[in-house]
Amino acid sequence: MQFFLLPNHLLDGGVTGLSIIAARVFGMPLGLFLVVLNIPFIILGYKKFGKAFAVCSSIGIAALALLTSVHMGNGFTDVPILAAVFGGMVVGVGVGIVVRYGGIIDGADTIAVLIDRETMFSVSEAIMAINGAIITLAGFVFGWEQAMYSLIAYFVAHKAIDVAVEGIDESRCVWIVSMHVREIGKTINQLIEEPVTYIKESSPDDREPHGIMLAVITRLEEQKVKTAVRAVDPMAYIVMTGAHEVVGKISEGSLHRQPR
């Protein structure tokens, strides 16, 4: 934040963004507001999620407050769009590393999780609502142009968090239903050079047996697999879902394979 966001009057979402606004309005150190505004959420997180969560979060918030209190000179750029993109990347990776090891550095995430548990709204919907309100408030304090750049920084940070937590090479789980599932399986096996799994073969009328097949592929293999399946059976039913973690490697018939 010191090198990109703050020198250009941009902010991230959550309590961090609220702290930046408060520091600007009251003319007090940003680190002070980062600690004070997050204390209630750390206590709440301790009660709801346990001691380890509270300790990891406290360390992350304390480190962030300390680093923002150290003056590191001018920013790397005074071009708002560059500051928004690269500032969002740096913030997102930092937050993602903390989240990956069981903590948070923003109390708004705690509230979002609790809203998800107690209401019909999802975590992502709650976070979007909270951050939308904070960035709107920033428009009144820093100006609407800065608020729009801050929105860009927020979305970049959000994607960077996903990359830091889940990794770049996200695998895909492919489910295929077809009357030619064995032939499709052999084709995919040759294409990705890894075993596939046949889950079930059945037919309600005993005349056209349908099979179900599962394979775990990388995102780079996704289009090749879809093309191969359509070449064998244009009517095949294909479902692709994210596989955030693939562990283990067994021989033929395995449900999982190591991502490349």
For the entire predicted model, the pTM comes to 0.62
Supply the mean pLDDT for the chain.
79
In the numeric block, which tokens belong to residue 146? Answer: 């800065």
Q: What is the distance between the alpha carbons of residues 241 and 224, in angstroms, rounded to a whole number?
A: 16
For the ranges 56-60, 148-152, 248-252, the maximum mean pLDDT occurs at: 148-152
Residue 15 exposure: Cα atoms within 13 Å on the Cβ side: 25
C-alpha separations of 138 from 19, 24, 63 in Å = 11, 10, 24
C-alpha separations of 75 from 80, 85, 152 in Å = 11, 14, 18
Range 17-35 average pLDDT: 89
pLDDT in tens, 62-101: 888 888 877 666 778 888 899 999 988 988 887 777 777 7
Q: What is the pLDDT confidence band of residue 168, given thresholds at 50, 70 and 90?
A: low
Residue 255 and residue 195 in contact, taking contact as beta carbons nearer than 8 Å:
no
In terms of Cα–Cα distance, which of 21, 32, 16, 36 is closest to 109? Answer: 16
Backbone angles phi, psi at 252, to 5 degrees: -50, 135
DSSP per-residue codes, 141-158: HH-HHHHHHHHHHHHHHH
pLDDT in tens, 108-154: 777 776 776 777 776 667 777 888 888 899 899 888 999 999 999 88
Range 207-232 average pLDDT: 82
Would you state the pLDDT for residue 165?
67
17, 19, 22, 24 alpha-carbon torsion, rounded to 10°: -70
Would you state the pLDDT for residue 85?
92
Q: What is the distance between the alpha carbons of residues 97 and 92, in angstroms, rounded to a whole number?
A: 9
Q: Which residue segments constitute the domains of the chain, with CATH numbers given?
A: 6-166 (no CATH), 171-243 (3.30.70.120)
The DSSP call for residue 105 is: S
Would you state the pLDDT for residue 258?
38
Residue 174 and residue 214 in contact, taking contact as beta carbons nearer than 8 Å:
yes
Range 149-160 average pLDDT: 87
C-alpha separations of 58 from 92, 124, 194 in Å = 18, 23, 44
Q: What is the distance between the alpha carbons of residues 211 and 201, in angstroms, rounded to a whole number?
A: 4
Q: What is the distance between the alpha carbons of residues 132 and 257, in angstroms, rounded to a whole number?
A: 40
Percent of the chain with pLDDT over 70: 80
In the numeric block, which tokens belong to residue 231? Answer: 């070449």
Percent of the chain with pLDDT over 90: 12
Find residue 202's DSSP bridge partners: 210
Would you state the pLDDT for residue 140?
92
Range 18-45 average pLDDT: 88
